[in-house]
Structure 1
C-alpha cells in the first residue's frame, strides 16, 4: 500500500465533484443498540466487501483477516471483491448499488465522501460500542473525518522516512537536519568528467518518485490550511524555508543535469529502482519499501538502513516525525446490511490480531497502539523506524479537503516551475497558489 498518486486519485475526484445524494438503497446505521444487546446476536447475512488489494499476497492477507471475523460471527458471510478503485465505489453508491463495506487506498476523497453522505456517519455506533479513538494517533483520526463527521476508520497506515545505502554512505550517519542533508548530499554525489550525475547523494526534485509536497512538508512543519479552511501555503514561512532549501540544492546539481539524471532512472515499482542499483544514496520513501527490498531477488542483499527524515535546523523537536496517510474503510450509503457491515469494519480496524495479520503480510503500519506493541508483530529494526514515525506526536498528514486532489495538483505544478527557475518571486508565486486554491473552494461552496 502507498499514498495513491494524484493521477490515479484524480479519476475519482472527477466523479466526486458531481456527487449528489443519489439513490437510497437500503437502511442506514441506526440508533445505538439497547443496553445489553449483543452484536453476536445479529441475524445471518451476506456482506459484500470491496477493496483495492489485487496481488495474491495482498488478497490472501485480507482473507486471513476476514477469517478472524468469521470466527466471531459464523452467521455472517463475507464476499470480498478485489481491485476496486474509488471511482467505481462512488459510481455504485450514486447508482444505488453500493457494497456493504468499501475500502480505499487514498485519503483524498474522505472529505467528499463524508460531506456528501456517500459514506455513513460512524459516530453513533462508535459511541454506543464504547470505542476509544485515542488508541489512534491524531493524524490517522484526522484523515478519516471531515468537519466533525467521521465516515471512515483507518485500516493500515503508511509512514514516510529515509532509506540510506550503507555502502554509499561510507560510514556517515543519516542526517538529522536540512543543513546536514545538504552537506552529505554534496559529499556523496558522484559526477563524471562532464559534470553528469552518476550517483546522487539525495534527489531534491519534487518530480522524483515520493518527493511530493505533502511528504516533504513535515520536514519544516509546513501546514496546508488555516483554521478557516483557506490555503496557508503562501503565508506559512515553513513552506518558504523548505522551498528555498530545495531550490538551492537543485541549483547546486544544476537543473538540466538533475533532470537528465532523473529521467534516466528506472521504474519506482520495478527491479531497476535507483536505490536498489546504488544510484541514489538517500531516498524519501514509505515503509512498504522494506518489503519490496526483501522480496526482490537482487535487492534483498542490499545493505541499507532507515531513519526519520531530516528537519529544519530551527525546529529540532520535529525530528522523529514525518508524514502519514493510509487506507480507509467504511459503510457506504445504501449498504443492505449496515449493522453487520459496521461489525466487519470495527473488527478490521480495532481487532489487534486482525491488524497484526494484515501488517505482517503487507508490511504496512498497524494503526492502533495495541497492534503496534503486539509481540506477534514482525517489527524488525528497519520497519520499527516507521512504527516510531507513525506514533510520533508531531507526525502530520494532509488534512481532509473537498478539493484535495486539485489543491495538491496546483501546488505540484507550481513547484515544477519553481525548481526549473521559471518563478522569479517566490512570495508572489505562493500567494497565487493560495488564490487558486481559495477560488476553487468558493466555487465548491467551501
Structure 2
C-alpha cells in the first residue's frame, strides 16, 4: 500500500537522474567478480557489515523488516545488518552517483527498473542466480517480467500489490459482484442514488480516470489492453482494446453527467484517511489494492464488504480472475561495499518462505513466491485470498518495463483526463498523437 504515496514528480526526477553517469564506484567489488561458491554460503562469507535501505517508515513496518531478517541473522551470525528506513528512489540514485551506495536498496515502484538495469545503477543478478541454482519459476511470470530489462535482472521481487473490486454488501442489496463491463454498467446504474436535482448522493461505481486508483495501468487489464508493440513502440493507438475501454468508460461518465460526477468526486473524503467514501457508504464498488483490507480493519472494522476480481470485457471472459500487479523490488546497487553478503540477504528476503510470510502478514501485501502464496502460515481470509488468486492468475499483467515508463503513463493519463471531459472529438487522431509522443520520447532515449 505504501508506494501509492510516491509522487509522479519524484519518479520523473529519479528517471532523469538515472540518465546521468555513475561516479565514485570505480574499483568497488561486484557480483560479477564473485568466486564460484564452494561448501555452505555461511562458511564462505567473512564477517562483514551491510546496510539495507528501504522505504517503510511506520513503527509496525520497520518491525516487520526486522522480524523478516531474524532468520538471516541466525544463518549468518557473522554478518551485521543495519536497516535504514524511509528511503526513496532519488536518494538511492544520488547515493550511487556519489559513490556512497548502500549494500542493498529496495523500492516501492517498478517504474525505474528499466533505467536501473540499463544504466547499471543496480548490479545484474543473473550470474549469482545461476551460480546458486535458483529456479526463477518459483516466481509468477508477471513478477519476473517487471524485475528485468533487456536481459538484465537487476532486482528481485519482494512483495506485490494486486488490484481487484471491493463492494459494500449493504449497498449491493443482494446483488453479486459484476464479472463483465456490461454487468458493471448495469449494476452501477441500479445502485446510484440521486437527489431531486440529479446530484449524486451515492455512486454505484465511479468511472473517472481521476478517481483514486482508477489509473490507465490499473484498468487496462480489464480489456487486455497492451502498452507496447514487440519493437517497444506504443500500442495505445493500434490496440482496439484501448478503444473499448475508453468508450465504455465515457458512456458511463456521460450517463452520470461529467459535471455532476466531478462535483461528487471532489466532495469525497481523502483516499488515505478514515473518511474514505467507500467506508462511508458513498460508493458501492471501488477498484483498489489488497492493502485496503488492512486499512478497513483499522479504520472501518464494522464495514460489511466483499472482494472480487475486476469485471472484464464481455468478449474476453478468459481474463476474469486476473488483474493488474506491480511490486516492491530489491537489489544490490553499483558500488556496494559488501555485494556478496548483500546478495545473500536479497536472496533470503525474496526466496525464503518464512521471511516473505512474515512480511506479508505484517504489511498485508502479497508475497511473491508460489510457496509463500500457499503457505499455511500466511494469514488469509476470503477477502485477502481474492488478491492472492489475482496475483497468481496466469493472465494477470503489469506495465512492461520501459525506460520512459513514468513519462508514458503520465502522457496517457493526461489524454484520459481530456477524453472523459469531452474535449476529444476525434479519438483516432488523438490516440495517434499519444503514440507519436511516446515513440518520439523512445527515440530520444536511445530505444
State yes or no: 1:182 paired with 2:190. no
May I ask how many residue pairs the two structures share in their alignment? Answer: 443
| TM-score (norm: length of structure 1) | 0.98
After TM superposition, give the deviation of residue 135 of structure 1 in Å.
1.0
Contact 1:32/1:128, CA 8 A, preserved across alignment: no
Q: Where do residues 292-441 of structure 1 align in structure 2 (5 Å cutoff)?
A: 292-296=295-299, 299-441=300-442
Q: Distance in 2 between matches of 1:270 and 1:343?
A: 38
Q: For structure 1, which runs of at least 5 residues remain unmatched after alignment?
A: none
Match of 1:227 among 205, 218, 230: 230
Deviates more, 1:19-28 or 1:184-193: 19-28
Superposed CA deviations along residues 113-156 of structure 1, whole A, max 9, x for unmatched, are 00000000000000110111111111100100001110000000
After TM superposition, give the deviation of residue 377 of structure 1 in Å.
0.3
Aligned match of 2:259: 256
Q: Distance in 2 between matches of 1:112 and 1:387?
A: 29
Contact 2:34/2:340, CA 8 A, preserved across alignment: no
SS at the partner of 1:19?
coil
Q: Distance in 1 between matches of 2:287 and 2:425?
A: 28
Q: Distance in 2 between matches of 1:419 and 1:425?
A: 13
Aligned match of 2:139: 136
After TM superposition, give the deviation of residue 112 of structure 1 in Å.
0.4
Contact 1:211/1:284, CA 8 A, preserved across alignment: yes
Q: Where do residues 138-217 of structure 1 align in structure 2 (5 Å cutoff)?
A: 138-217=141-220
Contact 2:164/2:309, CA 8 A, preserved across alignment: yes
State yes or no: 1:112 paired with 2:109. no
After TM superposition, give the deviation of residue 7 of structure 1 in Å.
3.8
SS at the partner of 1:201?
strand
Q: For structure 2, which runs of at least 5 residues remain unmatched after alignment?
A: none
Superposed CA deviations along residues 22-55 of structure 1, whole A, max 9, x for unmatched, are 2215211035643633210200011011000010
Contact 1:202/1:282, CA 8 A, preserved across alignment: yes
SS at the partner of 1:374?
coil
Superposed CA deviations along residues 214-267 of structure 1, whole A, max 9, x for unmatched, are 000000000000000000000000000000000000000000000001111111
Say what the alpha-carbon RMSD is for the aligned residues.
1.0
Match of 1:28 among 10, 22, 30: 30
Runs of 4+ in 1 over 4 A off after TM superposition: 2-5
Aligned match of 2:85: 82
Q: Distance in 2 between matches of 1:345 and 1:252?
A: 50
Contact 1:31/1:124, CA 8 A, preserved across alignment: no
Q: Distance in 2 between matches of 1:109 and 1:301?
A: 39
Q: Distance in 2 between matches of 1:220 and 1:204?
A: 15
| TM-score (norm: length of structure 2) | 0.98
Aligned match of 2:39: 37
Contact 2:50/2:103, CA 8 A, preserved across alignment: yes
Q: Distance in 2 between matches of 1:140 and 1:113?
A: 16
Contact 2:36/2:131, CA 8 A, preserved across alignment: no
Contact 2:168/2:281, CA 8 A, preserved across alignment: yes
SS at the partner of 1:114?
helix
Aligned match of 1:91: 94
